Structure 1
Amino acid sequence: MTNPVLVEVVRSGFVESVHRGALVITAPDGSVRFSVGDIERPVYPRSSNKPLQAVGMLRAGLTIGDEDLALGCGSHNGEPGHVEGALSMLSRAGLTEDELACPPAFPLHEPSMLAVAAAGKRRAAMNCSGKHAAMLTTCTQLGWTCEDYAAATHPLQKVIQATIADLTSETIETVGVDGCGAPLFAFSLTGLARSFGRLVTAMGGPEGRVADAVRAYPWHVAGTGREDTVLMRNVDGLLSKGGAEGVHSFALPDGTALALKIDDGAARARIPLLLATLRHLGIDPGDEAEELPKAAVLGGGKPVGELRVASGLFG
């Protein structure tokens, strides 16, 4: 099945490029409300699955505050507060930065990167360091080994895999390695959307705690100028989490949820789709969200086009 065009790149009134993909909106009861493309084919959700991984850590027995929990769900900018938060979490668990399995990196946030460029890359600045710090904290609290915590065979990762299978109502058949070094489980976009819907409608428990923490501390999840932070600050009750390779998911407080995947992995296609989907659902994303940076189509250094959602996508 060839997925349809979701986003067009227009230059001087001419469609220059297109981004194909799949998108699903599920109703509060988990039924499919709207879809385009192959929504049942397993995909790697990348960092969109971090809230699900966090539910697994809580189910395993992790004791953690809400700010740390939000950071554990995040793909943060590496701003000073993000780095300090990850290091503080490690310190309270009796651990050091060297025990993080995620690779050293520069901050994603340009001003923060420029401020530390001379010092070089570090693990705590990597956007997944909060998740890894939370994983290590879980291991220390439960008496599990730390040196192999990122192995798919580790007890922590087995709990996370079982949790994701439960939340998505799917059997996990493909296990890979994410960019940060942690295990990555493939499942469908329908499963991803349904799992987000379950988190926002949970009455307490690990699912409810994760949803509440992420929405209470949206800066910890991404950071200055990032779409997840901006959207959650401007849309009441929204839970939003993006991932690499063109994946994104969100859920409204009533349990209506979205999951999308851009076939070619282009991140630039996500923001137009997210805003268009919110408007399709009758939600005003707010002025700040409308001003989120979108990929520029330039000619001679000046705007000569735009990225736009394919005509008729939502009817």
Structure 2
Amino acid sequence: MTAPAPLVEVLRSGLRESLHHGSVVVLGPDGGVRFAVGDTGSPMFPRSSLKPAQLAGMLDAGLELPPIDLALAAASHSGEQEHLERVRDLLDRHDLTEDDLRCPPDWPLGEAARTAHAGTGMRRITMNCSGKHAAMLATCVQLGWSTADYLAPEHPVQVAIRETVGGLAGEPIAVSSVDGCGAPLHALSLTGLARMFGALADHPVAAAMRTHPWLVAGTGRADTELMRAVPGLVTKIGAEGVMALGLPDGAAVALKIADGADRARLPVAVGALRLLGVRSPALDALAEEPVLGGGAPVGAVRLLDDALVG
């Protein structure tokens, strides 16, 4: 296994440290590797970065939904009011309720949403994957499949998803497990994940996510802000430091921060997009992540000057 390389530096009160390590692969429109550092070939779990491909599998199986529902189905939403209203609407239109969701009860991801739901406790619908689960249930209803066991690996909806995931990644699924939301989770290489997002570039799922970036994440969230900053970009974060991005021409990026923290993802993603020739003031504004102390900025996380050199 290739040792992870330094990608970003952390500045805090004048002290500079190359603390974060990770892996990143950048593919050109032809699928060829433009840049790679770290371990980009071993299997890893993409976590929620897999959601667009899981949704593509549902569409391959026969699911029919309007683009606004597709964006929500590919989301790790913040649990803000419109997110929850749209999940309820998707369930209602298929004669389903929140009780049919099999994702675990959880607090909303968004801080404001957590505060708003403090008195109601954790619920299945506020769990960030409830849109994906609602879409899996809708697929079952539309195709006449059972709903109670929709998370079973042998269920037709999960079989369809697995086939599509492997096809888009262009490699066999190394191993399958269970994600935090209870759905089957499939391991791929980082290069396979990037290849997947390049293949999704002209897919209806990507078009829906670009059209409705707020539904994919929420207020102030990385995916929403990046898609707003770069027209045509599709991007999806995953837990444990994963992120994947695709451009309309088929170029793509996948990255994983080794320590699993969030704060290094955006600087590395911005650097990878710059390597592909994507530049804009809106993107520049996302190139650094603040380091807080006592609730105030005391430093920043930023890309090392020579970390991504094509």
Q: TM-score range by the shorter chain?
A: over 0.9
Report 1:4-23 matches (<5 A).
4-16=5-17, 18-23=19-24
Equivalent of 1:279 in 259, 274, 279: 274
Asked if the contact 2:289/2:302 (under 8 Å) is kept, the reply is no
The answer (yes or no) to whether the contact 1:248–1:261 under 8 Å persists in 2 is: yes
Q: Which residue of 2 aligns with 1:205?
A: none
- Residue 216 of structure 1 is matched in structure 2 by 211
Q: What SS does the corresponding residue of 1:308 show, helix, strand or coil?
A: strand
> Helix, strand or coil for the counterpart of 1:125?
coil
Equivalences for residues 95-244 of structure 1 within 5 A? 95-200=96-201, 202=202, 208-244=203-239
The amino acid across from 1:307 in the alignment is V
Asked whether the equivalents of residues 102 and 128 of structure 1 are also in contact (C-alpha less than 8 Å), the reply is yes
Residue 278 (structure 1) shift:
2.2
Q: CA deviation at 1:10?
A: 2.5
Matched-pair contact (CA < 8 Å) for 1:175–1:186: yes
Offset of residue 296 of structure 1: 1.2
Structure 1 Cα separation of the partners of residues 141 and 59 of structure 2? 13
SS in 1 for 2:291: coil
Which residue of 1 is the match for residue 307 of structure 2? 313
Q: In the alignment, which residue of structure 2 is the partner of 1:82?
A: 83
TM-score by length of 2: 0.94
Q: Is the 8 A contact 1:275 1:285 kept in 2?
A: no
User: More deviation in 276-285 or 259-268?
Assistant: 276-285
- d(CA) in 2 for partners of 1:102 and 1:26? 34
RMSD over aligned Cα, in angstroms? 1.7
CA distance in 1: counterparts of 2:47 and 2:280, whole angstroms: 24
Measure the CA separation in 2 of the matches of 1:307 and 1:52: 30
Q: TM-score, normalised by structure 1?
A: 0.93
Could you say what secondary structure the match of 1:55 adopts? helix
Partner of 1:249: 244
Compare the two structures and name the one with the higher helix fraction: 1
Does the Cα contact within 8 Å between 1:39 and 1:190 map onto a contact in 2? yes
Size of the aligned set, in residue pairs, is 308
- Structure 1 residue runs of 5 or longer lacking an equivalent are 203-207
Alpha-carbon separation, structure 2, partners of 1:263 and 1:295:
19
For 2:27 and 2:262, how far apart are their aligned partners in 1?
Answer: 22
* Matched-pair identity in %: 53
Specify the alignment match of 2:258 in structure 1.
Answer: 263
Q: Distance in 2 between matches of 1:157 and 1:140?
A: 14
Report SS of the residue matched to 2:9.
Answer: strand
